[in-house]
Structure 1
Amino acid sequence: MATIELAPAFTLDDARATGLRKDQIYELLERGEIERVGRGAFVRPIAVDPAFATIAAATAVNAAATLCLTSALVHHELSDAIPFATDIALPRGTRHPAGFAHASWHSFDAATFDIGREQIDAGEGIKVSIYSAERTIIDAFRLMHQEGSDVAHEALRRWLRRRGNSPAALLKMARSFPKASPRLRVALEVLL
């Protein structure tokens, strides 16, 4: 039984579709050839970058899963935080997958869910979604009551230090988020 037929991140149903039985899946687990990340969600550890294992497995369960907030800030090097769990967004009204011990689930408005959503490679060609640096900064300001004002302001400061970033483009994207736009405008006025 070869794990090569399995995608780098897959569900139990995906494994069954390749012809594997449940007992064979458990045998692969025991041998360490695959790891369980959530209920019915697995990754091949040699195929997936460990930093993206949780989001890759979440994407196997629901393609809309998107890396967000602190996890995205760290990926974009806008924060030095060490998140306890991977922050993953799904459209509001979508059921969060069960059994993910290292995931912090967030529900974002379906109307703005795709704004700033990008794809990155998580290993062996598997694509996972992440919010752009700009969208993540907007979310940090929008959810300042949860994330903390210091996190949002530090991320903005770091982003402004980089060449090629446009505060005008950031404000244009922020117009879609009425709660964040005024806070972000004030912070930019102070920092610029």
Structure 2
Amino acid sequence: MHRIAALPTHPFTLEDASAAGISARTVQRLATAGLLVRLGRGLYQRPETDVDDTDLCTAATRAPDATLCLTSALVHHGLVDDIPARIDLALPRGARRPAGPPTVQWHLFDAKTFTVGRTSLEIDGTRTSVGLYSAERSIVDAFRLRDVVGYETGIEALRTWLRRRGSAPAALLSIARTLPRAQGPLREALNYLA
């Protein structure tokens, strides 16, 4: 039991356990005995750890560049009312998509524009963070990838965003200039909704 106390209170990898002086074999034995919860290959947590979204935590641990995008980011920002069946995560094109929870949908974004509008978000109950695209970038992506998220999703998000105080269409257009495929549809929607 004293070995478990040495383990982090947040989800941890076998490397984290090793740094705490506990071997991979001991971690696996503790998991088999039900004293640890196996979240995924090489990722564990103590049973008393309260992580709201273990699938997101697992994906973020396996792919540090993972970034909430598309519908998942729009929902996070309160711009659409959808309840996505999967977590949309972006990686820079050329990165390896990790095996992981079936609830994660991986998307590959151009490495040159991957960081545009990207911030970081700490996952509740963990020390793990995941990337998050800003509301503006998420709206632009919804127009750019409307065949993926649905044609109405971008319109709904834009309409909600425009109703908020301080929303500036110039910020959207600035991001759209770096992601040209979105420029035309976004300008058209702005003209329609204005």
Question: Is contact 2:58–2:100 with CA below 8 Å preserved after alignment?
Answer: no
TM superposition shift of 1:25: 2.5
Question: Is contact 1:43–1:57 with CA below 8 Å preserved after alignment?
Answer: no
Aligned to 2:13: 11
Aligned to 2:89: 88
Distance in 1, matches of 2:186 and 2:69, equals 18
Tell me: CA distance 1:82–1:113, structure 2 relative to 1, closer, same or farther (3 Å).
same
The alignment-based identity, stated in percent, is 45
Distance in 2, matches of 1:34 and 1:138, equals 39
Distance in 1, matches of 2:133 and 2:76, equals 10
Structure 2 alignment gaps of length 5 or more: none
1:54-82 alpha-carbon deviations (Å, 9 max, x no partner): 33222222221111111111111111111
SS of 1:50 mapped into structure 2: coil
Aligned to 1:20: 22
SS of 1:31 mapped into structure 2: coil
Aligned to 1:31: 34
TM superposition shift of 1:34: 3.2
The normalised TM-score by structure 1 is 0.87
**Letter aligned with residue 107 of structure 1:** L
TM superposition shift of 1:47: 4.7
Larger radius of gyration between Structure 1 and Structure 2: 2
Tell me: CA distance 1:132–1:47, structure 2 relative to 1, closer, same or farther (3 Å).
farther
TM superposition shift of 1:30: 5.0
Distance in 2, matches of 1:93 and 1:185, equals 30
Distance in 2, matches of 1:55 and 1:76, equals 17
**Letter aligned with residue 17 of structure 1:** A
SS of 1:112 mapped into structure 2: coil
1:38-66 alpha-carbon deviations (Å, 9 max, x no partner): 43234557556414x33322222222111
TM superposition shift of 1:106: 0.6
Q: CA RMSD in A?
A: 2.2
SS of 2:178 mapped into structure 1: coil
TM superposition shift of 1:185: 0.7
1:18-45 alpha-carbon deviations (Å, 9 max, x no partner): 3323343232465364341x43234557
Question: Is contact 1:78–1:158 with CA below 8 Å preserved after alignment?
Answer: yes
Aligned to 1:56: 57
Tell me: CA distance 1:171–1:146, structure 2 relative to 1, closer, same or farther (3 Å).
same
Tell me: CA distance 1:127–1:150, structure 2 relative to 1, closer, same or farther (3 Å).
same
Residue 145 of structure 2 corresponds to residue 143 of structure 1: yes
Distance in 2, matches of 1:188 and 1:131, equals 20
Tell me: CA distance 1:177–1:149, structure 2 relative to 1, closer, same or farther (3 Å).
same
Q: How many residues align?
A: 190
Question: Is contact 2:65–2:130 with CA below 8 Å preserved after alignment?
Answer: no
**Letter aligned with residue 181 of structure 1:** Q
Distance in 2, matches of 1:40 and 1:54, equals 13
Question: Is contact 1:39–1:100 with CA below 8 Å preserved after alignment?
Answer: no
Structure 1 alignment gaps of length 5 or more: none
